[in-house]
């Protein structure tokens, strides 16, 4: 079957790959849609591991249930891509997201379990959820990033009336804005270096204000507008400049949630973090309950995630989509891949 394969730095090729065989604990799905995520872009940037088939945000229909009577052929499903061990303290306390094994065999993020930039894939049967018919394939592919944002907001200590700044207006940032508002924030602002994306956050109605992160007076402006800083800052970029802005813009005693990932160490203004007695919290992925909650909220029309989708591309056009998402000027927030077109 044809798959988009990571072959080098910033380079995908559509290659013939063996179809997945059923294996213990997994079922096979026919992929309908897959999302391109900021984390995938980190892999694409470095071009490693070579041969990786990305795509950890996905949906499809069951094509081989591997004898599991909970699933019928043709069931519409999505799944957590993670591979927790099920036995460690994290797993046993309902936090598979920080189990040490959770990313080792993750679907679409490991060579062991190729992802959804392909017409078929294996998914771990204990991570699969059926999806109601009123949720479209496009919306189903948005469940995973929505759950990331929900988890970040659940860790953020937002109260009715909180002022929240989200740094980075990619899909994780904008979904975090959406959930922050739902959690009771009275003022939600987003800062972005890509002006088209920043303006889009306002157009999509998820933030009250967009701050241009390239403005040298950014921090001064943020402080003036909030009379001394934000209660909560959610960092959704993962670079030194953004983490520094987060620590500088939160008020003393406030909370910074770190969602952005960097494969190399970032510098932080430590003295401000210490002197402000701020809480710095990492946020990784989601719990199973949060993932299921996102499916339910989309099904009940409590959140609209389809408005963040800009385009749907074929496997052949995955390369162009990555270039578009990283050129720093395009307003596209989320691009989905359809391996069947
Ligand atoms: N912790 C987790 O579980 C988790 C899950 C998914 C994604 N992520 C990470 O979260 C980050 C965001 O994901 P995404 O899919 O939205 O990525 P993205 O690349 O689409 O968005 C990041 C945005 O940050 C902006 N940006 C960069 N530097 C900035 C700065 N100094 N100030 C303001 N904006 C700045 C970029 O222009 C871009 O629009 C990525 O690092 C991704 O790897 C983490
Ligand atoms: Zn993702
Ligand atoms: Zn575990």
**Residue 80 is part of a domain; what is its CATH number?**
3.90.180.10
Determine the distance separating the centroid of ligand 2 and the alpha carbon of 2, expressed in angstroms: 22
pLDDT of residue 230: 98
112: cis peptide before it, omega within 30°? no
Determine the distance separating the centroid of ligand 2 and the alpha carbon of 81, expressed in angstroms: 9
Distance CA(273)–CA(262), nearest Å, equals: 19
Average pLDDT over residues 216-234: 97
pLDDT of residue 115: 98
Do 203 and 248 belong together in one domain? yes
For residues 31 and 120, is the Cβ–Cβ distance under 8 A?
yes
Of 282, 297, 326, the position where a domain reaches its end is 282
Determine the distance separating the centroid of ligand 1 and the alpha carbon of 332, expressed in angstroms: 13
Do 137 and 6 belong together in one domain? yes
Tell which atom from ligand 1 comes closest to the C-alpha of 197: 39
pTM, two decimal places = 0.97
Tell which atom from ligand 1 comes closest to the C-alpha of 286: 3
Ligand approaching nearest to the C-alpha of 55:
2
Do 260 and 292 belong together in one domain? no
User: Which structural domain, as residue segments, surrounds residue 36?
Assistant: 2-146+287-337
* Residues framing ligand 1 (Cβ under 6 A): 37-39, 41-42, 148, 167-173, 191-194, 197, 213, 236-239, 241-242, 245, 259-261, 283-285
Q: Which pairing describes strands 26-35 and 120-124: parallel, antiparallel, or unpaired?
A: antiparallel
For residues 67 and 259, is the Cβ–Cβ distance under 8 A?
no
Confidence of residue 17 (pLDDT cuts 50, 70, 90): very high
Counting ligand 1 atoms within 8 A of each CB, the residue from 236, 241, 269, 330 with the most, and so the one to mutate, is 236
Domains: count for the chain: 2
Ligand approaching nearest to the C-alpha of 190:
1
* 214 found inside a domain: yes
Alpha-carbon torsion, ordered 165, 170, 176, 177, to 10 deg: 50
Determine the distance separating the centroid of ligand 3 and the alpha carbon of 152, expressed in angstroms: 21
Confidence of residue 263 (pLDDT cuts 50, 70, 90): confident
* 141 found inside a domain: yes
Q: Which pairing describes strands 163-167 and 128-130: parallel, antiparallel, or unpaired?
A: unpaired
In the numeric block, the tokens 């989708």 are attached to 309
CA-nearest residue for atom 24, ligand 1, is: 168
Do 22 and 121 belong together in one domain? yes
For residues 290 and 269, is the Cβ–Cβ distance under 8 A?
no
Of 282, 302, 328, the position where a domain reaches its end is 282
Average pLDDT over residues 4-23: 96
| 151-199-284 Cα angle (round to 5) | 15
pLDDT digits (tens, 9 = 90+) for 141-157: 999 999 999 999 999 99
Distance CA(202)–CA(62), nearest Å, equals: 38
Tell which atom from ligand 1 comes closest to the C-alpha of 262: 41
Q: pLDDT above 90 covers what percent of the chain?
A: 97
Residue 76 pairs with which residues in a beta bridge? 61
pLDDT digits (tens, 9 = 90+) for 99-132: 999 999 999 999 999 999 999 999 999 999 999 9
Do 260 and 301 belong together in one domain? no
Do 201 and 242 belong together in one domain? yes
CB atoms within 10 A of CB 3: 26
């Amino acid at each position: 079957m044809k798959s988009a394969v990571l072959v080098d730095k910033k380079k995908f090729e559509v290659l013939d790959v063996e179809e997945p065989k059923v294996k213990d604990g997994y079922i096979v799905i026919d992929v309908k849609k897959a999302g391109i995520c900021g984390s995938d872009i980190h892999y694409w940037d470095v071009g490693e591991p070579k041969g990786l088939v990305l795509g950890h945000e996905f949906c499809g229909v069951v094509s081989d249930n591997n004898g599991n009577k909970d699933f019928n052929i043709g069931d519409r499903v999505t799944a957590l891509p993670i591979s927790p061990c099920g036995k460690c303290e994290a797993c046993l306390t309902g936090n598979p997201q920080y189990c040490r094994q959770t990313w080792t065999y993750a679907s679409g993020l490991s060579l062991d379990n190729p992802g959804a930039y392909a017409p078929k894939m294996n998914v771990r049967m204990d991570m699969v959820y059926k999806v109601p018919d009123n949720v479209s394939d496009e919306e189903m592919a948005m469940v995973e990033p929505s759950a990331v944002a929900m988890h970040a907001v659940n860790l953020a200590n937002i109260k009715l009336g909180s002022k929240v700044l989200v740094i980075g207006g990619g899909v994780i940032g904008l979904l975090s804005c959406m959930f922050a508002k739902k959690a009771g924030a009275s003022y939600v602002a987003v800062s972005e270096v890509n002006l088209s994306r920043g303006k889009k956050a306002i157009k999509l109605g998820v933030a009250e204000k967009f701050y241009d992160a390239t403005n040298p007076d950014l921090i001064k402006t943020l402080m003036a507008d909030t009379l001394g800083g934000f209660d909560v800052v959610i960092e959704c970029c993962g670079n030194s400049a953004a983490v520094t802005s987060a620590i500088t813009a939160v008020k003393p005693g406030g909370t910074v949630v770190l969602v952005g990932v960097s494969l190399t160490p970032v510098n932080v203004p430590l003295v401000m973090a210490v002197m402000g007695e701020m809480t710095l919290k990492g946020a990784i992925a989601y719990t199973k309950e949060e993932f299921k909650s996102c499916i339910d909220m989309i099904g009940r029309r409590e959140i609209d995630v389809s408005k963040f989708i800009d385009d749907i591309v074929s496997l052949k056009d995955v390369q162009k989509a990555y270039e578009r998402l990283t050129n720093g000027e395009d307003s596209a927030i989320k691009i989905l891949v359809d391996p069947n077109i």
